[in-house]
Chains A and B, each alone.
Chain A
Amino acid sequence: MIINLHRKDNFSHTVPKKRRMLSSTIERKTLGFFFLPAGLFMVAFLLFPLLKLVYDSFFAVGDNYEGRTFIGFANYIKAFTSQQFQSGSLHTLVYVVVAVGLETVLGLVLAVILTNKYRGFKAIRTFLLSPLMIAPLVAGLVWKFMLSSQFGIVNVLLVKVGIIQSTDSILWLADSRFSLLACIIADVWLTTPFMMLMFLAGIQSIPESLYESAAVEGANKWQIITKIILPSIKGVLFSTLVIRVIDAARTFDIIWAMTQGGPQGSSELLSVQIYKMLQRYGDVGYASAMAVIFIIVLIGLTLFAQHKQNRD
């Protein structure tokens, strides 16, 4: 991504094997030392809470219990059999698939458009970054009021354009069919610019020579996009996708500001459920079990994706 190299096999080198070398220049101890400082930071604020989560998930612990009782996998069984956890998982899945899908497609389209070096496109790129400047919480609030059918400008505009009959035609936040979509819209607005940036970076690392040879062969624009650009940014696409999927699954601020999971539980993601269970209702054991399941599923997905990526 950073360097457009000529093909790697220009160099043929043999490095003498040293003891406990993990690569040509780094030995095991060095890796440990290099990782340690960053690791220390993560231990306190991530690893410790994570271990606590795992530990707590095997106990009946929290406000409603006296002390802590070891109950094995009971919390996990409770989660898997709970109607709420299932619908929360489904909502999370829908949210991730739809939001990340839209963001990827829009981000790609935008990146391809802005690759053109026409007059004014640099400025457009700058303006497109404006959602990045807004905190998710604020974005959630602003969208909440823009999509409201009483105070919202979105429905007013849709009526003006003639897409809907009256401002009550689509109750974005009050209709359980649309509430999740409303949150997705806000999420897409908020993070498409990030995707666009990553893809732009990827596209710009494509060596000019590829385009030149394509031009010689008389390829048209569409062929250039599909045959050169898309294959070249596969790596960037993949790592960006993984990051986004994880982040979208963990979304909290937007939902909390817009719908608090309602109406009728229609926009309740697992992150919201976990927060409520842990914070509001004090069932620490059960909330921890939910969080652990959530983390395991995400890791499984990521490793699976990486495995496929490495195979290709």
Chain B
Amino acid sequence: MFHERFGRNKSDNFWMIAMYVLAGIFLLAFVFPYLYMLFSSFKPSNEVISVNPTFFPERWSLENYRSVFQTSDIGTNFANSFIAALVSTIICLLLGSLASYAISRTAVSRFSNFLLVLVLCLKMIPMSSIVVPIYGLVQQFGFYDYLPVLCIVYAGVNMPFVLWMMISFFKEVPVELDEAAAVDGAGPLKSFIRVILPVVTPSLISTGIFTFLLAWNDFLVALLLTSSDAKTVPVALSEFLTSYNLDLGPMTGAAVLFSFPVIIISFFLQRYLVSGMLAGSVKG
């Protein structure tokens, strides 16, 4: 359907040109802020916030990147961000898929509906109202500024998102698969692991990417739970903006660096992000 070549007929040509124009406009609008940040990071730090803002640097300089590496422990922060996001995502996917599979298969029962509503309730909580109790809990047990705990907290707070996404994915998987596995003598766990999981892997991965991003980009939780050993990049970024100066330069540099891993990941997992969600794995 949507893959005609140019020049088949008039209306198709018109359609194609319109598509290109629209895509171009959107592309400009959406890439602009990112590029602005990217180019700003190559300006000398006193030109980043200028009363005569320019899109391109007038003088290219690596000053901002230098000061990022000199003034902060950005390497450690990167490692922390990455580990926290990755581990919490893995925990979320592992346990979340198990739970959402069970809920999706029992949607008619009252117990399952209760769990579903509970998950919904937990999804609604504004983070700003619970970070302090979480901090209190963590601090009481002496786990403050400790990376594994950050992983666990992220896994906990992002779990409702994962469940919500995964339940809708699992609902799409025909129940006949489970039934067939049951006929072959597999218990629920076995049929889940061997039959269902392979089918939903692509959507698992796409959910995983979003979950990863949630933890990767989080500020509030990390702000309270970490201070030096486990500090993540967003918190380190905010420290470039003190009440003593207005130096956005190093921050743009660090933010650009911070976006690279995600760009690389999403580049390689592109097909999972979109088409992969829909692997036509079951041919009836």
Contact = CB atoms under 8 A, between A and B. Distances in A.
B79 interface: no
A35, A48, A125, A236, most chain B CB atoms within 10 A = A35
A53 B172 contact: no
Contacts of A15: 179
Interface stretch (A74-82, A93-101, A131-139): A131-139
Contacts of A204: 274-275, 277-278
B2 A115 contact: yes
Given A127-B27, A150-B51, A2 B176 contact: no
Main SS class of interface, B: helix
A41 B53 contact: no
A299 B11 CA distance: 47
A150 B51 CA distance: 6
A82 B268 CA distance: 51
Nearest to A39: B99
A278 B122 contact: no
B33 interface: yes
Interface in A263-294: 270-272, 274-275, 278-279, 287-288, 291, 294
B126 A270 contact: yes
A35 B98 CA distance: 7
B51 A208 contact: no
A271 B128 contact: yes
A48 B137 contact: yes
Nearest to A111: B274
B91, B137, B153, B217, most chain A CB atoms within 10 A = B217
A126 interface: yes
Interface in B52-75: 52-55
A15, A26, A45, A303, most chain B CB atoms within 10 A = A45
A128 B28 CA distance: 9
Contacts of A124: 23, 27
A47 interface: yes
Given A252-B220, A291-B125, A50 B130 contact: yes
B237 A25 contact: no
Contacts of A30: 102, 188
Nearest to B2: A116
A128 B96 contact: no
Contacts of A239: 164-165, 168
B206 interface: yes
A102 to B, nearest CB: 12
Interface of A: 1-6, 8, 10-11, 13, 15, 22-26, 28, 30-32, 34-35, 37-39, 41-42, 44-50, 52-53, 106, 109-110, 113-118, 121-122, 124-139, 141-143, 145-146, 150-153, 156, 189, 192-194, 197, 200-201, 204-205, 208, 211-212, 214-215, 220-221, 224, 235-236, 239, 242-243, 246, 249-250, 252-253, 270-272, 274-275, 278-279, 287-288, 291, 294-295, 298-299, 302-303
Given A38-B98, A117-B2, 20 more contacts: A4-B280, A5-B174, A24-B175, A26-B188, A32-B111, A38-B159, A50-B122, A53-B133, A124-B23, A128-B27, A130-B30, A134-B255, A135-B234, A141-B251, A142-B36, A143-B33, A246-B123, A271-B127, A271-B129, A274-B128
15 contacts: A2-B172, A37-B99, A42-B159, A45-B137, A50-B121, A53-B130, A118-B16, A151-B49, A151-B53, A189-B30, A201-B278, A204-B275, A252-B128, A275-B129, A295-B124
Interface of B: 1-3, 11, 15-16, 19-20, 22-23, 26-27, 29-31, 33-34, 36-37, 49-55, 91, 95-96, 98-99, 101-103, 105-109, 111-112, 115, 117-130, 132-134, 137, 152-153, 155-157, 159-161, 163-165, 168-169, 172-176, 178-179, 181-182, 188, 191-192, 199-200, 202-203, 206, 210, 213, 216-220, 233-234, 237-238, 241, 248, 251-252, 255, 258-259, 262-263, 266-267, 270, 273-275, 277-282, 284
